[in-house]
Structure 1
Amino acid sequence: MSRHNVSQPRWAEAADAGAAAAHADTIGYPVALKSQAGVGTMSVAAYSRAEVLDGYDRMMRDASSRHGEVVVEELLHGARIRAETVLLPDGDVCIAAITRTTPGEAGLQASRHCVYAHDALLHNPVIRRLVARTLHALGLRPGVFRIGMQLTLRGPRITDVQGHAPDDLTPVLVKTATGIDLLQVAVDVAAGGTPGLTPKRQRASAVHFAHASVTGRIERIAVTVGPDLQPFLERVVQLKYSGDHVVAMPESYESDALAYGVVVGSSPSDCHTALDRLAQALCVDIAPSATAGQGVRRLAWQNRSTGL
């Protein structure tokens, strides 16, 4: 990607804590520590050399992240988006949807995604050129890809490329908002058919993943949705139950989510308002583990800044 002048964060590989700290000093703070073990493993934000050393130690203790080297990466500032992209057999590139992401605690994990059929970035020439250049640089074959980027003051910069249909329920959001079925598109492209990329709906759809802000055992959990939310609600799913152990952000994984809700509206603001109101539908009591403190802390799914 560097050879093809694809804008991306500065980064370096580190085989030990000392190398990670040295790379972070060179790159400049803040940085993100990411495992090369794959997507879904631990990521740590560090704002000083001491935090790099502590973050590296935590990653080495984590079973999913301790194999392989750690990447020390420039921590960017700016809105996070993902271009849900289709590379067609004739070389044409189609951005089927733009997913806008709201980060959770520490800024590394996503807690909310939103897709809007009329997103202005769908036809932004800078975004389109960057996506096409990224596909070309990687020499990818036709298929469905998710290309992540951040919109910094110096322009968009590529943060990740997933060589498969998107996760995090994004295909549900895209289909609900636009009518485009990304999974069917992937099948059609693989089979040499003509994918359906013409939008049939003009709406917005969003999902929110609720995570605990304290590590411990769930004492009680309940999801109760009132009739006022029914017109906006596509689905709400409880993922954890009484007795389950959960890990708080920023060290939690997707598997630690308490519940998620998907809503639909005429605009992104409608969706975010509905998700904020859906906050009242989830009530959780968690008994913190010995390392997380004492007593029972009552949590609500209403403050995104705490990762809920």
Structure 2
Amino acid sequence: MEAKNQTGVSEFFLMGITDDLTLQLPIFSLFTSIYLITILGNVLIILTVSIDSHLQKPMYILLSNLSFNDICLSTTIIPKMLVNIQTQDQSITYTGCLTQICFTLLFCTLESCLLSAMSYDRYIAICHPLNYTTIMNPQTCGLLILLSLIISLVNTGLLGLMVLRLSFCTDLDIPLFFCELAQVIKLACSDTLINYVLIYLATIILNGIPVSGIIFSYTQIVSSVLRISSMKGRYKAFSTCGTHLAVVSLFYGTALGVYISSSFNNSVTNTALAYVMCTLVPQMLNPFIYSLRNKDMKVALRKHISKAMCHL
């Protein structure tokens, strides 16, 4: 059938991970579990940081914001997917799709910016320990969060709202379980050159800012640690940023996996699984990485969980 220009699109269709009906129940159960674990783990991090006075430090304040962002990102994607599986209706309205694109862009960019802010905090803690409390004061912490939000909003405005100018064909099937910007642009019948130009510019400039911040911070951290003569001192210095480095590696490693999968793999299922690893798995694992590898967080969690159990 010849694709015709359709400017008044009312809905798109999310193809999901697989069209095998026998796998729908296991997939529903899996993603329900992922969502519940993500919510529970990140809420626990937020509550622990909020009520424990020993964790009222810039690093943990940034961490609680990261946890809130992870909850928002997962909520943007998973509930709609679960509803579609349960109702056996893969449609999503045009407005709903555009909203999902914008919020996904916002929270993914904010995740990157917050990780960059946390890397700056680790840079100050290791390279300028005597001035840490002076530099990383509450005002600086708030400014980093505000700057992260501004960059994320600008990126979302430039990329997400430009979808409004596009007209679409009769082929409205999105080969994923959520509305992703690049996949939606591929369905357009109108000229998409300006959209792709903006994507590349935003990737280089706006998304390049947090990545550059992380690279700069860890370059300085490694340089500073290597100047420490004792192995014990080096280990102690690296241990203060090991947890954050693990989270950064997970986030950007899975994002790189999506890029490679999209470039060299035409399998719908494999591409969908790559997006699962990028957009959902890091948000689920972040609380466990911080609670298991960070000594202060581990102690605080044990204390408050024990206290809560005693009151039951």
TM-score per shorter chain, which class?
A: under 0.3
For normalisation by structure 1, the TM-score amounts to: 0.24
TM-score by length of 2: 0.24
Structure 1 or 2: larger helix share?
Answer: 2
User: Greater share of strand residues, 1 or 2?
Assistant: 1
Q: Which has the higher contact order (CA 8 A, sep 6+)?
A: 2
Larger radius of gyration: 2
